[in-house]
Amino acid sequence: MNDQARLLREQVIQSRERKPSTNKKEAKAIAVMSGKGGVGKSNFSLNFSLTLQKKGYKVLLFDMDIGMANIDILLGNTQRYSIIHLFEAGLSMNDIIQNGPEGLAYIAGGSGLKDIFHFDVRKRNHFLSQLQELSFQYDYILFDMGAGITSESLQMILSCNEIILVTLCEPTAMTDAYSALKFIHRHNQDIPFQLIINRAMNTKHANDTADRLQSVTQQFLKRDLFHLGSLPDDKYVSKAVMEQTPFVIKYPTCQASKGLEVITTRYLNESNSSDTKNTYTFMNKLRGLFR
């Protein structure tokens, strides 16, 4: 009888510790960041997520712009829940996920995230277990980071599989983008960076900007910076923002939508061709930072 009870206890413990089925793949975590505000990072994150979603991938967009969260504003939605409800109301991640167009799932930002790395063990474990569960429900999780880098956002960025850096052709934006890249590089020399030039006057202007950033990155940091593509300065993007509707939905034939289609296709081709097995998954790295 005692042997049966012991066996039952062991089975219960094993079931709790059992990892998700090996036929499920953890989502690729992407940090979308910029060196400064006002470069269109959140708008890119939203429309890029939607374009991935329309191509058949399951995407979760996570608004990490603490204090300036605006994904729900860009969508014209009223914020019902934010990440703060995960901790203060004890809700699950699935409870606070909201639905956007094209079936896009997103989590609105809130002030609660700035304290995650200082929470007690119970709250941190709740956050990690919930995020672990979500990581097997999606193909991509995009973290729309706030402008600049804080100690808290740095830890989340370093946990991601890759970074998309959004900047403009303006000298100040380029300088800030390089500074952000250099700061991340000091902490992790291996995390891949991909570059987006936003609101470019023309293709040549965008390519010249990318060339300058690639050159200085190679010269001083000895690392590659892949130019994923550029988006034009398109009046329909501003119109879509004013109408609180993503431009790839409101104006699918505008130049920005066409440009984002090219960028997304290039991203998927590059991602598929360079995918290698990496034992350090997003969740592994994030758990390590909590220790």
Question: Is 25 exposed, middle or buried, given 0-12, 13-18 or 19+ CB atoms closer than 10 A?
Answer: exposed
- Looking at residue 153, its pLDDT comes to 80
Query: Can you tell me the distance from the alpha carbon of 230 to that of 212, in angstroms, rounded to the nearest whole number?
Result: 14
CB-based contact 163:184 (threshold 8 Å) = yes
> What parts of the chain have a pLDDT lower than 50?
1-2, 5-22, 276-277, 279
Q: Identify which of 264, 173, 177, 260 has the alpha carbon closest to the alpha carbon of residue 214.
A: 177
> Cα separation of 180 and 193, whole Å?
11
Q: What is the predicted pLDDT for the residue at 91? A: 85
* Among 87, 154, 141, CA closest to 289: 154
Beta strand 140-145 with 59-64 is: parallel
Half-sphere exposure of 190 (CA within 13 A, CB side): 5
Q: Name the residue ranges covered by the structural domains of the chain.
A: 25-290
Instruction: Specify the pTM.
Output: 0.87
Q: What is the pLDDT of residue 194?
A: 97
Contact 126, 52 (CB under 8 A): no
* pLDDT attached to residue 19: 39
pLDDT tens-place string over residues 196-246: 999 999 999 999 999 999 999 999 999 999 999 999 999 999 999 999 999
How many residues are given for the chain?
291
Question: Rounded to an integer, what distance in angstroms lies between the CA atom of residue 163 and that of residue 228?
Answer: 11
What is the CATH T-level fold of the domain 25-290, as seen in this structure?
Rossmann fold (3.40.50)
Cβ atoms within 10 Å of 203's Cβ, excluding its own:
13
**Angular region, 135: left φ>0, alpha ψ -120 to 50, beta rest:** alpha
